[in-house]
Amino acid sequence: MNNQPIIHLEGIQILQSGRSVLADVELKINPGEFVYIIGKTGSGKSSLLKLIYADIPVKEGLAKALGYNLKKIKTSETPFLRRKLGVVFQDFQLLDDRTIEANLSFVLKATGWKDKNKINQRILEVLEEVGLISKLKAMPHQLSGGEQQKIGIARALLNNPEVILADEPTGNLDPETTNGIMKILLQINKTGTTVLMATHNYNIIHKFPGKVIICEGGKVVTSSNKLD
């Protein structure tokens, strides 16, 4: 197995609107890990994910993700990085004016898929993975919040990413639905996909243990395998 970290940050400062959100960030994520990033709202969890996703520029320090140097990454390279990353959002971000099938097809076409049969096949595969093939022709508004988030996960899986970045994926969901989402993410992780999940829900971490990274007071203050 590759011993190189899949994500490696050293001496990073993250700025938002000219204000330092996180400073002196040191972070190593190894292939196949399930990692929680925890902290209060505004502590920098989402900013950290955006930096890995090349949505926030890196000005100093060392920042590597999936073989890309985030400090030197060109605009033309960003889509290739993002094909290796699946992103799951708290607010689902589905396109309301089209079916689930069309939502997923849109992403595949936007990332270079051309063959209609392969597109249709991949859509069925990811929907099966989240248990929602029956919703293929449904519109987003016909789905519950939990179902919409499962579609969000299916969308993140479309390009067989090496890493899933999940930003508060259970933030708007009840406990029972949250358990269902967590089981899907853990199942994805078991297949070898690295999962990095930002959350402020400590109950999840107690119920589904993983490596824990804490954003607090403008720092990434600890990295451990359990929450005390």
**Which pLDDT band holds residue 143 (cuts at 50, 70, 90)?**
very high
Residue 115 lies in a domain: yes
Q: Residue 158 is inside which H or E element, if any?
A: none
**Overall size of the chain counted in residues:** 228
| pLDDT tens, residue by residue, 52-86 | 999 998 988 999 999 999 999 999 998 889 889 99
Q: What is the pLDDT of residue 227?
A: 54
Residue 131 lies in a domain: yes
**Count of domains observed in the chain:** 1
> What are the backbone dihedrals phi and psi of residue 89, each rounded to the nearest 5 degrees, phi first?
-105, 155
| pLDDT tens, residue by residue, 82-125 | 889 999 988 888 999 999 999 999 999 988 899 999 999 999 99
Residue 122 lies in a domain: yes
- The closest alpha carbon to 82, from 185, 195, 13, 162, belongs to 162
Residue 23 lies in a domain: no
| pLDDT tens, residue by residue, 183-204 | 999 999 999 999 999 998 889 9
d(CA 92, CA 78): 22
Rg (CA), the chain: 17
Residue pair 137/101 in contact (Cβ under 8 Å)? The answer is yes
> What are the backbone dihedrals phi and psi of residue 93, each rounded to the nearest 5 degrees, phi first?
55, 40
Domain span including residue 144: 98-160
> What are the backbone dihedrals phi and psi of residue 40, each rounded to the nearest 5 degrees, phi first?
-70, 165
Report the chain's mean pLDDT, rounded to a whole number.
Answer: 90
Q: What is the pLDDT of residue 1?
A: 46
d(CA 112, CA 110): 6
Q: What is the mean pLDDT of residues 120-140?
A: 96
Residue 166 lies in a domain: no
pTM attached to this predicted model? 0.90
Q: What is the pLDDT of residue 225?
A: 60
| Residue 211 in tokens | 């490596």
Residue 172 lies in a domain: no
Half-sphere exposure of 228 (CA within 13 A, CB side): 4
Residue 69 lies in a domain: no
Q: What is the pLDDT of residue 202?
A: 87
Strand order in the sheet with 7-16: 19-29, 7-16, 62-65, 68-69
Residue 153 lies in a domain: yes
- The closest alpha carbon to 177, from 212, 209, 201, belongs to 201
